[in-house]
Amino acid sequence: MRNWKRYISLILIAAMFSSFATFAAAAENGSGDEEQIPPSGLNYDQYPALKDVYDGYFMVGTVGPLTGSRSDLIRYNFNAYTPENEMKPQSVQNVKGQFTFDNLDNLFSNVTSLSSDIHLIGHTLAWHSQTPGWMWDAPAFDRDTALDNLKTHIDTVLRKYGGELYSIDVVNEAVGRANPNDWQASLDKGEGWALALGPDWVELAFQEAAKIIDENGWDCKLYYNDFGLDDPAKAQTVYAMVKDINERNAGLRPNGKPLIEGIGMQEHYNSNTKPENVEASIQLFSTLPDVNISITELDMEWPNLGTLTSEQAVAQAQKYAQFFQIYKKYAAGPANTTDNPKVIERVTFWGTNDGDSWKKDGLPLLFNAPDGSNITAKEALVAVLDPDAYLANNPITDDPDQGQTKHIDGVYVYDTSKGDSWSGANIILGNNAAAWPWSTGGADGKAAFTPEKNAKYRISVNLTSLGTNSIRIRWLKDESNGSYTAADNAEVNNHPYSADQVATAFPAYFNSGMSTGNSYTLVNEITLDGSQPADGLIGNIAIRGGAGGNSFSINWIKVEKIGTGGMPDQLLVNWPDGVPKAGTEGVHIYSTTKGDDWSGANIILGNNANAWPWSTAGADGKVAFIPEKNAAYRVAVNYTSMGTSAIRVRWLKNESNGSYTAADNAEVNNHPYSASQVAAAIPAYFNSGMVNAGTYTLTTEITMDGSQPADGLIGNIAVRGGAGGSSFVINWIKIEKIGTGGAPDQLLVNWPEGIDEPVVEPEEPSVVIPPAGQTYDKYPALKDIYKDYFTMGIFGSGENNALLYNFAAYTPGNEMKPESTQNVKGVFTFDGADNAFNNLAGKNPDMIFYGHTLAWHSQTPTWMWDAPPARYDQPGNYDKETALNNLKSHIDNVLEHYGGRLAGIDVVNEAIGTANPNDWEASLAKGKAGTRRLARSGLRKRLRKRPE
């Protein structure tokens, strides 16, 4: 025993020497870095100013209110300012001929009073949104009237402010469905100026703006501003538009100025935005002669549950750092010494802090919401101030699956707008060129489905035309872009159809009824009888563009085996979502965090408004389950609050967001419950016991006896937010039919996991495992099931009889931790663990015991490492000899007491901090600001003097 204890002590001594050496080295290495940017969390004025850091590269701008400390933050950090809403058409001329400039005048006056070097940016003159409809003469849309309104508005606003502005967004967000081959068609958004003036409206707006600016000799740059310019197709469309307009208006303006002088990339980004796409767009725009670029509305939404975790904060900061590396590479100022085009003259954040952001739930900016007079920095600010250093210290680990569409076996979809060399799809039916259907798969050899001879199939393809006006569905030999079968090549154009027809032959040529910018579902139904020879009308299914080539995007693909003899159709392929598992159909989940208009769920119980339960389904007609009369059901909804403090479970007539039954509306708030209660009625109003960022399972148990009338307390089940609206996320939903007469409960709905088909595997005759839901003693004991594999143990306390029945080993959860056995120095208390061991050993003499733990940074009194009185970052001596004596004494006494009855013990628990495989010793330095702690403790000096 003594040898064992001595051996353990030596191990810990070695580890301690390594840890102290690591602290000392870190202290020496960090002592001279006076220019280092402070860590996040301090007030904004504790950091270098953004405008100073990027002086010589580009202006750094913002938007937002000037109240309180926000004004000081703007004065300190920014040298450009854009009015967020005050200059939009409805703000300055909501009523025709009545210009109201007071708010904008006051705003500009207040901004310029902050600092004389703040550049004013105008936003915006012409837009389809936040513009009164009379401007484009709705609903008549008379061209002359609309054009006169457009010119009058531009003239009046620019004559007042043109001389004060550095630049202005003349036109905002004109491009709809992007088509690089026809930018003018891309302006047909079906709304606003395009309806009255057609695609000319953008050019007309810039011509009028240029006339006013040039007549007065002002130097206000004219910008086109748009979102989503990281999308290659949209960037190419904007490029084509600006290039064409500028070339046709060359010579119109003095000094060789182009009509459009700048492209504003809004850059409302998120965790899935790809920096390489943004850089590609900047490179593309930089080829336009004399056209600058500004980043005009930058923010970065991040998924969260009310606050960013430390990992999320770093990930958001990494993304910001990546973008600012790119911005610096293409900065217009003299500080950019690279050979890259120098085009970016401004980067504007769309807000000063998360609390004021239009996307505040996504926590998208560099500063936290104001707290009194303080506005503190997020990790993102640290990254933006020095992106290279930040990424060097926080390297990005590539996730090849991030932002990718879920892989569907045997389905390959290509899209030029996403960087592929062609657009279309291959659906693999076989992987053996020597056997029917005579085709081979991709590299993984996976088939989408295996066709049955004499079965009939329906192939549906939904796509959006970006210029392509015909589509072919063909037979392909492999997973290439051109190896069609000989028979297919012979008949490729022989079977024409319009987009609204159901094709009955392959190859099918859908060559009419399609136009650019619209979406279509093309359907083909065929029977494969097995007689088709190799290189015949069989193989893999190929979807290709006809006229217009690759200018289309596939949205979804479905392949169904058509049922016969009353059997339903069977879904075989469903790209990109995958084939729904049992228990998920008829469940519709919505979340504002994923772009939906509201958060909640609809669970469909019927699809016939004229029969009980008097409700209808969604477009797919799917029902989650068919309720039985006089059956009891348990509805459990697990959700996470992001602000919502109440949830309602209600009766709904259909799959909408508001058609509740009349009886539900009458009783909607009559049945309040706390989150921990089981509701016994629907509608149920869970309106207490919930807080922001908490996760809760809300349970309702009801019986539907079939007597409920139409528009009564029956229908589909709706889950909705109460107080807090849509600020919540549903994690899972389960619905069970409650068993009676000893029958187990039956799981009917299990979203999103689904209900697996039972897998029948051979069982050992002696082992019969009952279904879930029974008491522990109805099942084989875990320790017996795994006795030939390993010892089955339990950590911590549990129900005593269940513990003894199932487990062969026991480890105390807390009773042996240092604060439990020696909270006061020299006073050892072993009663807790003794009682647990003796109790279990008295009932099972063969019980095996393990110990946990001797040395840990947590649940350990701080005097052990000589650090009174508080645990971390408080004054203390951290005397090595004192701490080492305490450690050895604790180990000796605990092992002296327990060592003889333990099969093993956790000597050290959780020593590794930030993992570094190249330097495990440095990985033991877990203490926050360990070098500071050493400095305070006086150990730094002593460690430096200690010989190696």
Find the CATH number of the domain harbouring 909. Answer: 3.20.20.80
Same domain? 106 vs 184: yes
Give me the pLDDT at residue 158, please: 98
Residue range 824-861, pLDDT digits in tens: 999 999 998 888 888 888 888 888 989 999 999 899 99
Among residues 636, 659, 632, which one has the least CA distance to residue 647? 636
Domain boundary among 751, 785, 806: 751
pTM: 0.48
Same domain? 244 vs 339: yes
| Mean pLDDT to the nearest integer, 913-939 | 61
Same domain? 794 vs 739: no
User: In a 3-state reduction of DSSP, which class is residue 66?
Assistant: coil
Same domain? 264 vs 328: yes
Residue that is written with structure tokens 């490029």 in the block:
239
Give me the pLDDT at residue 7, please: 40
**Torsion sign (Cα): 347, 351, 354, 359:** negative
Q: What are phi and psi of 210, to 5 degrees?
A: -65, -40
User: In a 3-state reduction of DSSP, which class is residue 465?
Assistant: strand
Angle at 508 between CA 502 and CA 514, to 5 degrees: 70
Strands 809-811 and 502-503: unpaired
6 in any annotated domain:
no
204 in any annotated domain:
yes
Residue range 259-279, pLDDT digits in tens: 999 999 999 888 778 899 999
Contact 12, 931 (CB under 8 A): no
Same domain? 423 vs 388: no
Among residues 109, 95, 149, which one has the least CA distance to residue 125? 149
How many CB atoms within 10 Å of residue 710? 17
Residue range 108-131, pLDDT digits in tens: 999 999 998 999 999 999 998 899
Contact 173, 234 (CB under 8 A): no
Q: How long a stretch of residues is the chain?
A: 948
Give me the pLDDT at residue 11, please: 39
144 in any annotated domain:
yes
What distance in Å separates the CA atoms of residue 467 and residue 513, rounded to the nearest whole number? 13
Domain boundary among 393, 425, 443: 393
Q: What are phi and psi of 426, to 5 degrees?
A: -120, 130
| Mean pLDDT to the nearest integer, 173-194 | 86
Instruction: Please tell me the least confidently modeled range out of 142-151, 166-175, 303-312, 442-451.
Output: 303-312
Q: What are phi and psi of 668, to 5 degrees?
A: -55, -35
Residue that is written with structure tokens 């050019």 in the block:
203
Q: What are phi and psi of 883, to 5 degrees?
A: -65, -40
- Structural domain including 719 reads 587-751
pLDDT band at 500 (very low <50, low <70, confident <90, very high): very high
463 in any annotated domain:
yes
Strands 728-737 and 631-641: antiparallel
Same domain? 556 vs 667: no
What distance in Å separates the CA atoms of residue 425 and residue 414, rounded to the nearest whole number? 6
Strands 508-512 and 496-498: parallel
Give me the pLDDT at residue 118, please: 97
User: In a 3-state reduction of DSSP, which class is residue 47?
Assistant: coil
Same domain? 376 vs 420: no
Same domain? 348 vs 476: no
Same domain? 622 vs 746: yes
Same domain? 829 vs 892: yes
Give me the pLDDT at residue 519, please: 81
Read off the DSSP letter of residue 367: B
Give me the pLDDT at residue 279, please: 94
Q: 733-759 burial, b for 16+ CB within 10 Å, e for fewer?
A: bbbbbeeeeeeebeebbbbeeeeeeee
What distance in Å separates the CA atoms of residue 256 and residue 251, rounded to the nearest whole number? 6
36 in any annotated domain:
no
Assigned token pair, 229: 């310019």
Same domain? 897 vs 780: yes
How many CB atoms within 10 Å of residue 197? 22
CA dist 189 → 185, 516, 659 (Å): 9, 12, 30
Helix, strand, coil percentages (3-state) for the chain, rounded to 5, are 30, 25, 50
Give me the pLDDT at residue 767, please: 66
Higher per-residue pLDDT: 159 or 832 = 159
Tally of structural domains, the chain: 4
Helix or strand holding residue 657 (H, E): none
24 in any annotated domain:
no
Domain boundary among 751, 766, 786: 751
Contact 478, 445 (CB under 8 A): no
Does the pLDDT value for residue 326 go beyond 90? yes
Same domain? 357 vs 378: yes
Does the pLDDT value for residue 240 go beyond 70? yes
Q: Specify the CATH number for the domain of residue 636.
A: 2.60.120
Beta bridge partners of 651: 717
Q: How does the average pLDDT of the chain come out, rounded?
A: 86
Helical H segments across 31-121, by residue range:
50-53, 69-77, 89-92, 102-114
**Torsion sign (Cα): 86, 89, 93, 99:** positive
678 in any annotated domain:
yes
